[in-house]
Amino acid sequence: MFEEINWPEAMTPSRSPIHFTNELEVEASPETIWSLLVDTRTWHTFYPGVGHVQLLDGHESLGLGTRFETNLAGQDVFASVQEFRPMTRIAWGGHPKASEESTAYHAWIITPTPKGSHLWTEETMQGPLWIELAKQDPEVFWRTHENLLAALAEVAGERENRAGLQHTPQGNAADV
């Protein structure tokens, strides 16, 4: 499915020593998933290891070009949103502050399904810091994203249950 992602040329999977994909069927609408991904104030509820997120340039949520700082994988990271198609896809790229030559590009694709959403997340990573972390634990990034998807699915389902939403056989959210 990586051909659907608009990879920056330097970050394509074929040019990246670290490349992984994760996917999950989620019983929550694309709208709910999207609302969680673009509102960085919710990230701590599902994103493993996120200590803080600071949006730069006066933004209140993620949008095309939004720059932000966060702590991921134990690293203070600077990133910006480079792909943004509401309800269907978002991607950001960046680097740890301690290693600007170590870059990453993280993309999300959300597809409606009869029971909610199909989530696909894919990331490429390059540079010495990421390679050293991967040498210590070759599955660390993939496993972190598996946990991320599971937690995101749980938080999205809880949000829809609190809102009194259920999925119809066509996959639309409707009031109970």
- What confidence score (pLDDT) does residue 173 get? 44
- What confidence score (pLDDT) does residue 170 get? 47
Both tokens assigned to 67: 């720059």
Tens digit of each residue's pLDDT (9 = 90 or more) over 135-149: 999 999 999 999 999
State how far the Cα of 103 lies from the Cα of 131, in Å rounded to an integer. Answer: 11
- What confidence score (pLDDT) does residue 4 get? 81
Both tokens assigned to 139: 């599955």
- What confidence score (pLDDT) does residue 164 get? 77
Pairing relation of β-strands 89-96 and 103-113?
antiparallel
- What confidence score (pLDDT) does residue 17 get? 96
> What CATH code is assigned to 19-175?
3.30.530.20
Extract the residue ranges of the chain whose pLDDT is less than 50.
Answer: 1-3, 168-176
- What confidence score (pLDDT) does residue 165 get? 59
Tens digit of each residue's pLDDT (9 = 90 or more) over 53-69: 999 988 899 999 999 99
- What confidence score (pLDDT) does residue 172 get? 47
How much of the chain exceeds pLDDT 90, in percent?
78
Q: What is the mean pLDDT of the chain?
A: 90
State how far the Cα of 68 lies from the Cα of 75, in Å rounded to an integer. Answer: 14
Packing angle between helix 140-162 and helix 30-38, nearest 10 degrees? 120
pTM listed for this prediction? 0.88
Hey, where are the domains in the chain? 19-175
